[in-house]
Structure 1
Amino acid sequence: MKVVWSPENASKAYIDTVKSCELYQESGVAELISAMAAGWNSKLIVETWSNGNFIPRSIGLAIAARHTSGRHVCIVPDERSRSDYTQAMSSSNTGLSSPEILVGEPEEVMSELECVDFLVVDNRRRDFARFLRLARLSSRGAVLVCKNACAKTASSACKWRGILDAGKYRVIRTAFLPVGPGLDIAHVAASGGLESGETTNKRRWIRHVDQVSGEEHVIRTT
């Protein structure tokens, strides 16, 4: 199955996230990943969270899941993080339903998730690569996002290929976006030839304006 970009979903998720997160005055990361997750019509959105992480990104992903009628799962390392996350989401006053919460190590929780098509991990966590390596991605393709990635440590296409199982997945395109602390992004497909009618030169553009700095970012996608 081919991934189809939905500008309408992306726009709606972006605007709703701006409205929901305006009090947090963050750097625009929440709005961007929300638009990406909704635009790709993601049906299983997975993120990792631990104490000290910002909550607006979770709000953005919850909004994206609402627009795609998808499933939103948050993975936390321990029960304390579960409690803190639940409290933070409840106090956000957005009216959103709390996502499913899984507690445990990557080997434990990732085995419970199948057909992941949008995955957000924290580059500051030592186990972030394990989440990526163990993820069972959708056959229609997936978008992988490493947040808190600085330009010097951002993963190149070769590094992404080193993390993922080359027998199962192939990296189509990678990009580093200097939004907030940095986003390292990879578009991945199931290994094998291109599907009938699919070409590698079809690209779309996403325009994103940082709500704090006013900087404009134009993202080219496949």
Structure 2
Amino acid sequence: MKVVWSPENASKAYIDTVKSCELYQESGVAELISAMAAGWNSKLIVETWSHGNFTPRSIGLAIAARHTSGRHVCVVPDDRSRNDYMQAMSSAAAGVPLPEIIVGEPEEVMAEIDGVDFLVVDSRRRDFSRFLRLARLSSRGAVLVCKNAEVKTSSFGFKWRGVLDGGKYRVVRTAFLPVGPGLDIAHVSTSSSSVALTTKKKRWIRHVDQISGEEHVIRTI
């Protein structure tokens, strides 16, 4: 399945997030992530959150999920973080639906979530790469976002291909955006979708010259 960009969804999510997060100083990150998630028509949005983090990003993703009629999941490490998150979201996000909250370690949590097409992790968490490595992505591919990327890029040896299952997923393109503390973004496709595209391209075309009557058979690349 091909991922199609929707400028209308992106614009609506961006504007709604600006209105909801205008009182927060983390301006820019939440709106941009919201627009990306909505613009790519994400149906399963997953993010990580822990005690002490801000909530504008979560508000933006909740708004994006509303525009795409998608599922929004927030993964927290413990009960304390869950309680803090629920309290923060309830007081800050009036009218914004509260996401589904899952408590646990990456290994047990990501095993329960299948078909992720938009994943946001915090590079300040030591286990952020485990979420990326264990994520079961959508068959149409996914967009992966590392927040606080300046922290991540200072870690020796980090590479997108190093935290993904090379046999299942392929990094199509990456980009670093100097927004807030930095956003590192990767567009990933599944190997099955790559094979499907290749198979589709390799086909034979039969053409008959109407004047000479000669038949030509051409193989597409």
For Structure 1 versus Structure 2, the TM-score category normalised by the shorter chain is: 0.7 to 0.9
Quote the Cα distance in structure 2 between the aligned partners of 1:117 and 1:31. 18
On the 8 A contact 2:59/2:93 being kept in 1, the answer is no
Mapping for residues 133-172 of structure 1, pairs under 5 Å: 133-150=133-150, 153=153, 159-172=159-172
SS at match of 1:94: coil
- Larger fraction in helix: 2
| Cα deviation, residue 27, structure 1 | 3.0
Rounded to whole Å, the distance in 2 between the matches of 1:124 and 1:25 is 19
Bigger-Rg structure (1/2): 2
- Return the alpha-carbon distance in structure 1 between the equivalents of residues 154 and 46 of structure 2: 20
Size of the aligned set, in residue pairs, is: 197
Three-state SS of the structure 2 residue aligned to 1:75 is strand
Distance 1:47 1:109 in 2: 12
Q: Structure 2: how far apart are the matches of 1:161 and 1:93?
A: 36
In 2, Cα distance between equivalents of 1:185 and 1:25: 22
- 1:118 corresponds to: 118
Question: For residues 36 and 61 of structure 1, what CA distance do their matches in structure 2 show?
Answer: 9
Per-residue CA deviations over 1:3-60 (Å, capped at 9, x if unaligned) read: 0000000000000000000011323100000000000000000000001111000000
**How many Å separate the matches in 1 of 2:93 and 2:133?**
35
In structure 1, runs of 5+ residues without a counterpart are: 198-222
Kindly provide the amino acid, as one letter, of the partner of residue 149 in structure 1: A
Contact 1:144-1:188 within 8 A present in 2 as well: yes
Structure 2 equivalent of residue 72 of structure 1: 72
1:119 to partner: Cα distance: 0.2
Instruction: Tell me, in whole angstroms, the C-alpha distance in 2 between the residues paired with 1:12 and 1:135.
Output: 28
Matched position secondary structure for 2:66: helix
Within-5 A mapping of 1:5-24: 5-24=5-24
Q: 8 Å contact 1:30–1:57 — kept in the other structure?
A: yes
Of residues 166, 187, 193, the one that matches 2:195 is: 193
TM (normalized to structure 2)?
0.85
1:122-145 deviation line (CA, Å, top 9, x unaligned) = 000010000000000001010000
Structure 2: give runs of 5+ residues left out of the alignment. Answer: 202-221
Match of 1:207 in 2: none
Evaluate the alpha carbon distance shift between residue 152 and residue 45 of structure 1 in structure 2; reply closer, same or farther with a 3 A threshold: closer
1:133 counterpart letter in structure 2: R
Question: Partner letter of residue 55 of structure 1?
Answer: T
Whose RCO is larger (CA < 8 A, sep 6+)? Answer: 1
Cα distance in 1 for residues equivalent to 2:196 and 2:15: 34
- Whole-angstrom distance in 2 between the partners of 1:132 and 1:152: 13
Q: Deviations over 1:61-116 (max 9, x none)?
A: 00000000000000000000000000000001421111000000000100110000
SS at match of 2:109: helix
Flag the 1:77–1:151 CA change in 2: closer, same or farther, 3 A.
Answer: closer
Kept after mapping to 2: 8 A contact 1:154/1:176: no
Shift of 1:152: 7.7
Distance 1:154 1:178 in 2: 14
Contact 1:44 1:72 survives alignment (8 Å) = yes
Map of 1:208 onto structure 2: none
